Chains A and B, each alone.
Chain A
Amino acid sequence: MPAFDRRIKDFEAARTQVLGVSSDSPFSHENWAKSVGISNYPLLSDIHRTASRAYGVHWPEWNANVRATFVLDKQGTIRFVERYGRGELPDPEKILAEVKKLS
């Protein structure tokens, strides 16, 4: 998501790693990242849908995942979850505010 890529320094200042996850291949990720300008955080390929199933966000009709954001603290505990409907996107400001609540 380019909107997060542009704010990556703010996330880094909050000691936070941003990771993008979809079911696409690394080759697709590379083309998309170059096209839309994502270069400051990794895009991960959940090609076997293991991560999407583990997080309960697998979307069977598309064999992909739904749009959702998970915020994890430094111990690896989930501290915030948000799911999005059609046309909805995560708001970097809102997610940054959630991160800043964590110690």
Chain B
Amino acid sequence: MSEGKAPGVGDPAPDFTLKTIGLRDVSLKSFRGKNVVLLFYPLDWTPG
């Protein structure tokens, strides 16, 4: 169903910088020192 090499438990989390509401940039690495929960969801307006 999905494609791409999937990192798993024990692997380093790939960094990214993405825009959020207000077009502000958010970098994953800026949260280093905290735990992070990444919630991938298919599309806005889907359940959840």
Note whether A and B form a binding pair: yes
Which of A's residues lie within 8 Å of B, judged by CB? 1-4, 11, 14-24, 26, 28-33, 42-47, 50-62, 64-81, 87, 89-90, 95, 99, 102
Known A-B contacts A29-B20, A42-B20; the reply to A19 vs B44 at CB < 8 A is: no
Task: State which of A31, A58, A78 has its C-beta within 8 Å of the C-beta of B12.
Answer: A78
Q: Which bucket holds chain B's interface residue count?
A: 35 or more
A11:B3 contact, CB within 8 angstroms: no
Known pairs A54-B4, A55-B6, A65-B40; list 16 more (Cβ under 8 Å).
A1-B39, A3-B48, A15-B34, A15-B35, A16-B34, A21-B39, A44-B20, A45-B19, A45-B20, A51-B40, A52-B40, A60-B2, A60-B3, A71-B35, A72-B35, A81-B8
A56:B48 contact, CB within 8 angstroms: no
Known A-B contacts A54-B4, A70-B13; the reply to A99 vs B42 at CB < 8 A is: no
Chain B residues near A15: list those with CB within 8 A. Answer: 34-35
Known A-B contacts A50-B16, A66-B1, A77-B10; the reply to A1 vs B48 at CB < 8 A is: yes
Interface of chain B, helix or strand or loop or mixed? loop
Task: State which of B15, B29, B37, B48 has its C-beta within 8 Å of the C-beta of A19.
Answer: B37
Q: Mark B18-46, 1 if CB is under 8 A from A, else 0.
A: 11111100101101111111111111110
